[in-house]
Amino acid sequence: MIEPEVLLNFIKDRRSIRQFQEKDIPPEEIEMILEAGRWTPSASNRQPWEFIVIRNKEIIKKIGETQSQSFWVTAPVHVAIVGKKKKNPNWYKIDTALASMNMMLMAWALKIGTCWVGAMDKQKAKEILGLTEDDFLLTILPMGYVKGNIPKSYRTLMKRITREI
């Protein structure tokens, strides 16, 4: 087991990264990230997801045109996180969101930056990826080694939003 303070500090130190080196990510590290996603808990253990690793620069460029975030196309690898609606109709969104967080944490442990991207034309991205109407495109995570400085913490802006009753 990991010490609780170590885990909490690791979670606090994770950042969204928007600048990536032009260095490729080895397949074994991508496999570890995917494995972290596969081991995510899911409702009734249905695992209603598919992970699509995108390395093809033309596909990355096409999907990049469906959104306004220019940093996106600079990442060497992208992982589409797709929910399978029919596998678990009530929980596929939550299950895939949990899987994405596991994958982002594993990437960070490997010194690979990621950034949650929600601002894209998901229908066009689905078409580019050959997904069906029954597929839910949660996000496509850009991944790469950090270029430049890691963004500073905003911890001073964090508020306590929990309460006890």
User: CB of 87 within 8 A of CB of 136?
Assistant: no
- pLDDT for residue 17 is more than 70: yes
Closest CA to 24 of 63, 77, 64, 95: 77
Domains in the chain (CATH in brackets) are 17-127+138-144 (3.40.109.10)
Distant-in-sequence, close-in-space partners of 3: CB < 8 Å, separation ≥ 6 = none
Average pLDDT score, the chain: 92
* Residue 143, strand partner residues: 77, 114
Range from 14-23, 61-70, 138-147, 154-163 carrying the lowest mean pLDDT: 154-163
- In this structure, are strands 135-145 and 77-84 parallel, antiparallel, or unpaired? antiparallel
pLDDT at position 161: 62
Cα–Cα separations (whole angstroms), residue 84 to 50, 102, 140, 151: 7, 18, 15, 34
- The answer for 11, left when phi > 0, alpha when psi is -120 to 50, beta otherwise, is alpha
With cut-offs at 50, 70 and 90, classify the pLDDT of residue 144: very high
Average confidence (pLDDT) over 104-126: 95
Distant-in-sequence, close-in-space partners of 55: CB < 8 Å, separation ≥ 6 = 76, 77
If one compares 161 and 70, the residue with the highest pLDDT of the two is 70
- Percent of the chain predicted with pLDDT > 70: 93
Written as six digits, the tokens of 12 are 């606090």
Closest CA to 44 of 97, 81, 95, 78: 95
pLDDT tens-digit map of 27-72: 999 999 999 999 999 999 999 999 999 999 999 999 998 887 788 8
Looking at residue 106, the DSSP 8-state letter turns out to be H
- pLDDT for residue 153 is more than 60: yes
Range from 104-108, 135-139, 152-156 carrying the lowest mean pLDDT: 152-156
Written as six digits, the tokens of 74 are 């600079």
What's the predicted TM-score (pTM) here? 0.91
* Residue 54, strand partner residues: 78
User: CB of 29 within 8 A of CB of 110?
Assistant: yes
With cut-offs at 50, 70 and 90, classify the pLDDT of residue 104: very high
